[in-house]
């Protein structure tokens, strides 16, 4: 299998620290990943579906749930020079009124803290029309930049690159944003995050079937 890193980077500078995960088989590799249900009712599991990958869902009625997948605060990626590639999608089932948030990329902590949370990610939120690049440093606040890629229920491949002065985000092979404010200032770990609120019976799900990260 050819890694996405090898398709987008020169062999003259091979990858350093690297993780490659396609979320296949019948169980999550818990020697690497930790699933954490932060609050509410939900679950994470390998999907029994074609190209299903790993899914995190929320099923509470009239309540909120949050979950996150990380390296359990093992932070091996350099905020001054690291990249990730994440294939992600999110859907709602039997509940068009759901409020849902999906995020993937790099994050400092295995928690629901995003304000001053040291992260660089892609964001899907039902409050937005398009996907956004999403960053934060140690200082208060976050930065959200519109990618002009419409939110939908399809798979999209995102590549995020940190270089110390900017965070560049590409969607499906095309660079769409460059962020220069609220950049992370501490070492990071991979993460996939799901937030859901269902006013009626139903569910919403965030899925990833590929994640790769390396230090530049």
- Provide the domain limits for residue 44: 4-9+21-215
The position carrying tokens 């932070």 is 75
Contact 122, 206 (CB under 8 A): no
What pLDDT does 198 receive? 75
Q: Is residue 16 part of a domain?
A: no
The reply to whether 93 falls in a domain is yes
Task: Tell whether 14 is covered by a domain.
Answer: no
What local confidence, expressed as pLDDT, does residue 154 receive? 94
CA distance to 110, 111, 192, per residue, from 71 (Å): 8, 12, 10
State how many domains the chain has: 1
Does 119 map to a domain? yes
- pLDDT at residue 146, rounded to an integer: 97
Model pLDDT, residue 165:
97
User: Which residues does 13 contact at the CB level (< 8 Å), separation at least 6?
Assistant: none
Is residue 80 situated within a structural domain?
Answer: yes
Residue 46, domain member (yes or no): yes
pLDDT at 38: 94
Indicate whether 15 belongs to any domain.
no
Examine residue 39 and state whether it is found in any structural domain, yes or no.
yes
Pairing of strands 99-107, 143-150: unpaired
**Distance in angstroms (rounded) separating the CA atoms of residues 6 and 15:** 9
What DSSP line would sit under 102-165, residue for residue?
EEEEEESSSSS--TT--EEEEEEETT-SEEEEEEE-SSS--EEEEEEEEP-SS-EEEEEEE-SS
CATH of the domain at 143: 2.60.120.200
Please, are residues 160 and 167 in contact by the beta-carbon 8 Å criterion? yes
pLDDT for the residue numbered 61: 78
92 touches 204 (CB < 8 A): yes
The tens digit of pLDDT for each residue in 41-96 reads 889 999 999 999 999 998 877 788 899 999 999 999 999 999 999 999 998 765 55
* Token pair for 118: 């040291």
| 3-class secondary-structure state, position 9 | coil
Given a cut of 70, the residues of the chain with pLDDT beneath it are: 1-15, 93-98, 201-202
Query: What does the alpha-carbon distance between residue 15 and residue 2 come to, in Å, rounded to a whole number?
Result: 14
Burial class of residue 3, CB neighbours in 10 A (0-12, 13-18, 19+)? middle
């Amino acid at each position: 299998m050819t890694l996405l890193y090898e398709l987008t980077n020169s062999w003259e500078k091979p990858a350093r620290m690297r993780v490659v995960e396609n979320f296949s088989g019948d169980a999550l590799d818990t020697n690497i990943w930790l699933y954490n249900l932060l609050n509410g009712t939900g679950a994470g599991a390998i999907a029994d579906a074609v190209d299903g990958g790993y899914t995190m869902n929320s099923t509470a009625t009239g309540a909120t749930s949050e979950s996150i997948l990380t390296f359990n605060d093992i932070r091996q990626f350099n905020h001054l020079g690291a990249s990730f590639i994440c294939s992600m999608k999110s859907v709602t089932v039997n509940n068009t009124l759901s409020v849902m948030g999906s995020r993937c990329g790099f994050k400092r902590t295995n928690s629901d803290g995003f304000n001053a949370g040291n992260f660089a990610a892609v964001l899907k939120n039902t409050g937005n029309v398009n996907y956004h690049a999403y960053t934060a440093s140690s200082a208060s606040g976050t930065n959200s930049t519109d990618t002009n890629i419409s939110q939908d229920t399809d798979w999209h491949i995102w590549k995020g690159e940190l270089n110390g002065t900017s965070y560049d985000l590409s969607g499906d092979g095309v660079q769409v944003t460059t962020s220069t404010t609220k950049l992370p200032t501490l070492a990071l770990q991979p993460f996939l995050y799901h937030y859901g609120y269902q006013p009626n019976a139903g569910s919403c799900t965030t899925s990833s079937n590929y994640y790769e990260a390396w230090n530049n």
